Structure 1
Amino acid sequence: MRSALSLTGAAVAALLGTSVHAETISIATVNNGDMIRMQKLAGHFTAAHPDITLNWVTLEENVLRQRVTTDIATKGGQYDVMTIGTYEVPIWGAKKWLLSLDKLGPTYDADDLLPSIRSGLTIDGTLYAAPFYGESSMVMYRKDLFEKAGLTMPEAPSWSFIADAARKITDKSKEIYGICLRGKAGWGENMAFLSAMANSYGARWFDMGWKPQFNTDPWKQTITTYLGLMKDAGPPGASSNGFNENLALFQTGKCGMWIDATVAASFVTNPAESKVADKVGFALAPDNGLGKRSNWLWAWTLAVPAGSKKAEAAKTFIAWATSKEYIALVAKEEGWANVPPGTRSSLYANPQYQQAAPFAQMTLKSIQAADPKHPTVEEVPYTGVQYAAIPEFQGIGTAVGQVFSAALAGQMTAEQALQSAQALTTREMTKAGYIK
């Protein structure tokens, strides 16, 4: 295998069949741990590519989504590389807002990308974004707290088991909360979790006529269970907690269970970052006996907006950051357990990774268990597990997320929140022409 450092700027340009001149590319990315690590290691890229300077714009998840959406829709041209997800790629790719990434060089090996991840980034056989890391969701739990309570976590738990266990291992006098779940408003924050949870309860965002379904029993069961569980066993101020906040709570020993992105596994088991690194176990996201688990499917990806004036330099960077060579670089610098997960089949066939990452097989099982084309118990007109892949969802999902976050903060009841969600979603879907 070539080392990451052996590919000079000229060599990569030759592989891409292009010439790269000295220029600066702006990269918009999210403030997640893997992206921060990428920035730390970017000196390897610039050392090998002295003709390319990197300008980083690192943002909190909700802010990133707003900025890149505004920029690409208005053809603002602020960014040359955008960090976007599996929700945006098929929508923006179909609008020709993104450039094709089919030619990232002969050593890139796009066929090694996990099929479920690659298919979500491909339109009519063309790849429009390269996955930096892929994820589903799963249960991360404190084995010591379970043992102390006389509990055994099943590999495939039910929601009733999770709820019972969360209450049993809670000790608020010691600031140990049985469960940490997302409460921060956002279509990709609390609604990613709640949509996936709702799927397992038999709920769906829309029926086959695009009519919102928040006035149904499955959604009522979902939100009532969530609010009750967080009241009894969740941390204070949970309505402000997203991925990063809950990660910090878990790493400092304040969460007995955390149901969230599989990508978090390397952070909660890293002794340098986590006080409970040697006490963490993993299980599939819970179900409710209806044949659907509450696990999502997502990839943070790197894409080039069609308006970029520095497309070839941007592609050169993406080819590096999402390559097998980059994974090998992270393994060398940070250890195999910390490489970006969930994108390449070769990683999960690698004995070194399997040995270093106790969460590897559970992550792969979780990714493979999610089905974006059949996300719910009943039939739906949309694709996407934790979102509906329509342009309007970003605004609707965030508005609904604000309602449910307010309910978690005690500002309204579950019933009031569901009524509000139904009304605002019906209004927006009617305005957009989905409901006649």
Structure 2
Amino acid sequence: MNTIRAVFSKTAAAFLIAGTILGGGAEIAHADSTLTIATVNNGDMIVMRELSSEFEKAHPGVHLNWVTLEENILRQRVTTDIATGAGQFDVMTIGNYEVPIWAKQKWLVELKPDANYDLDDLIPTVRSGLTVDGKLYAMPFYAESVMTYYRKDLFQKAGLTMPEAPTYDQIRQYADKLTDKSNQIYGVCLRGKPGWGENMAFVTSLANTYGGQWFGMGWKPMLDTPAWKGAINWYVSALNADGPPGATSNGFNENLALFSTGHCAMWIDSTVAGGLLFDPKQSQVADKVGFTASPKGPYGKGPTWLWTWNLAVPASSKHIQDAEAFVTWATSKDYVNLVAQKKGWVAAPAGTRKSTYENAEYQKAAPFAKFVENAINEAGPDAPTAEPRPYTGAQFVIIPQFQAIGTQVGQTIAAALSGQMTVDQALAASQASTTRTMRQTGYLH
């Protein structure tokens, strides 16, 4: 043991001498590290990847390895990795669904940015969704609510006027009049791709405003109720009559491509699409886009869509300090300004910082800015449903089981959309499978 101590002491002394020679006690440069970043293939993340060389320049010795995936696959990969502690990723792009659940499991690193980051600049509703017991476990890259996009030129040609607060019945009437399949123009585009964060994000918010909800008190599933039947019948009939072909293959990115190339008269989806649709570099209809509120159903407002894509550091990362540095950089005011400088203000990440919305250049470039800021500030994911409920969340349910339940139900709803089963059959199957899962996991007795 004494020999080992002697050797250790000599080694330590050698390092101290080397440090002095290198510059009066300067730290020895740490070994190069490679951060593996898992992210989604959305437009804003593609821009982040493009601009990340600026981070590497400012942090010599830190290299970035990108794993960019389609939304459903990303969710599967990062969930498996973090649940097993595999440590494949150093930075994960996750939603405000995962953050509180994973933080309670101690799977995420608590983040403590310095004063320059300006935490108080984050929009309060966004920050609160990433905070557990007063601690921050992810940083928001962009945030979104939901809105209706429409083609002003097509509405004018058809003699239609979009109201400030449309109903779903009105949307269907407009869609019938605007559909021109011979010219590949479809009255309404909506998410149809199965997934708890794809078709079910839209479908859940639709069901809420029809007076539906996932669970009643006691965790009893409520998927075969008249409210759900009304919502899903509207959805299936509207897309079959006025939607594009192959709607069950269309998620956010596919509908964005359809609308931006002139094939959709209306699209109800994330507010983040505004920055893409109004950008003439990315949209062929940038000068023809109008926007208004998300439609209401018979119940009214209900819980309103609020989603954030965030960057988090898993506790299993072997490069936590460097990963924190990257997460801080990519969600900072400086990064927002970098995007504005390189891509124009219309492309700046939306929904996270008050300072972005206070910027006159952003307001000028993004005519939707004030609308989106208000939608995010007023989003009510905890608002009441038609009947009392035991959960929170608007377009998702914040329980660990929802990822599997939402995916299963999403596949069944897609089967109804493609005509493989009726709406009643799809909802009966969804009710049965959800009831079974809730019993197996002890929520329902």
TM over 0.5: yes
CA distance in 1, matches of 2:389, 2:41: 33
- Pairwise mapping of residues 77-226 of structure 1 onto structure 2 (< 5 A)? 77-101=87-111, 103-226=112-235
Deviation, 1:22, is 2.3
Does structure 1 conserve the Cα–Cα contact (< 8 Å) formed by 2:150 and 2:291?
A: yes
User: Of residues 244, 249, 252 in structure 1, which corresponds to 2:261?
Assistant: 252
CA distance in 1, matches of 2:58, 2:262: 41
Q: Does 1:301 align with 2:310?
A: yes
Structure 2 alignment gaps of length 5 or more:
1-28
CA distance in 2, matches of 1:414, 1:407: 6
Cα distance change, pair 400–118 in 1 and its aligned pair in 2 (3 A): same
State the partner residue of 1:360: 369
CA distance in 2, matches of 1:365, 1:88: 24
Cα distance change, pair 374–253 in 1 and its aligned pair in 2 (3 A): same
CA distance in 2, matches of 1:112, 1:92: 25
| Residue-by-residue CA offset, 1:230-259 (whole Å, 9 max, x unaligned) | 111100000111011111100110000011
State the partner residue of 2:67: 57
Deviation, 1:376, is 2.2
Does structure 1 conserve the Cα–Cα contact (< 8 Å) formed by 2:37 and 2:92?
A: yes
TM-score (norm 2): 0.92
Q: Does 1:236 align with 2:248?
A: no
AA in 1 matched with 2:92: M
Q: Does 1:349 align with 2:355?
A: no
TM-score (norm 1): 0.94
Does structure 2 conserve the Cα–Cα contact (< 8 Å) formed by 1:375 and 1:384?
A: no
Does structure 2 conserve the Cα–Cα contact (< 8 Å) formed by 1:46 and 1:53?
A: yes
State the partner residue of 1:15: none
State the partner residue of 1:385: 394
User: How many residues of Structure 1 are paired with residues of Structure 2 in the alignment?
Assistant: 417
* Range moving further from structure 2, 350-359 or 59-68: 350-359
Where has structure 1 moved over 4 Å in runs of 4 or more? none
Identity %: 59
User: Of residues 311, 322, 325 in structure 2, which corresponds to 1:316?
Assistant: 325
Deviation, 1:374, is 2.1
CA distance in 1, matches of 2:433, 2:50: 43
User: Of residues 36, 45, 56 in structure 2, which corresponds to 1:26?
Assistant: 36
Cα distance change, pair 255–309 in 1 and its aligned pair in 2 (3 A): same
User: Of residues 405, 415, 424 in structure 1, which corresponds to 2:414?
Assistant: 405
RMSD: 1.2
SS in 2 for 1:107: helix
Does structure 1 conserve the Cα–Cα contact (< 8 Å) formed by 2:303 and 2:381?
A: no
Cα distance change, pair 295–175 in 1 and its aligned pair in 2 (3 A): farther
User: Of residues 327, 335, 342 in structure 2, which corresponds to 1:326?
Assistant: 335
Deviation, 1:375, is 5.2
Deviation, 1:203, is 0.2
Deviation, 1:295, is 4.2
Deviation, 1:293, is 5.6
Deviation, 1:158, is 1.1
State the partner residue of 2:282: 273
CA distance in 2, matches of 1:34, 1:431: 39
State the partner residue of 1:48: 58
SS in 2 for 1:277: coil
Q: Does 1:337 align with 2:372?
A: no
AA in 1 matched with 2:114: G
| Residue-by-residue CA offset, 1:190-229 (whole Å, 9 max, x unaligned) | 0000001111001000001101101111000000000110
| Residue-by-residue CA offset, 1:75-113 (whole Å, 9 max, x unaligned) | 000000000000000000011100001x22220011111
| Residue-by-residue CA offset, 1:168-194 (whole Å, 9 max, x unaligned) | 111111110000000000000000000
Does structure 2 conserve the Cα–Cα contact (< 8 Å) formed by 1:187 and 1:397?
A: yes
Deviation, 1:278, is 0.4
AA in 2 matched with 1:370: A
State the partner residue of 1:3: none
Give the greater-gyration-radius structure (CA).
2
CA distance in 1, matches of 2:284, 2:367: 17
Deviation, 1:50, is 1.1
* Range moving further from structure 2, 104-113 or 311-320: 104-113
Deviation, 1:294, is 7.4
Does structure 2 conserve the Cα–Cα contact (< 8 Å) formed by 1:134 and 1:300?
A: yes
AA in 2 matched with 1:207: G
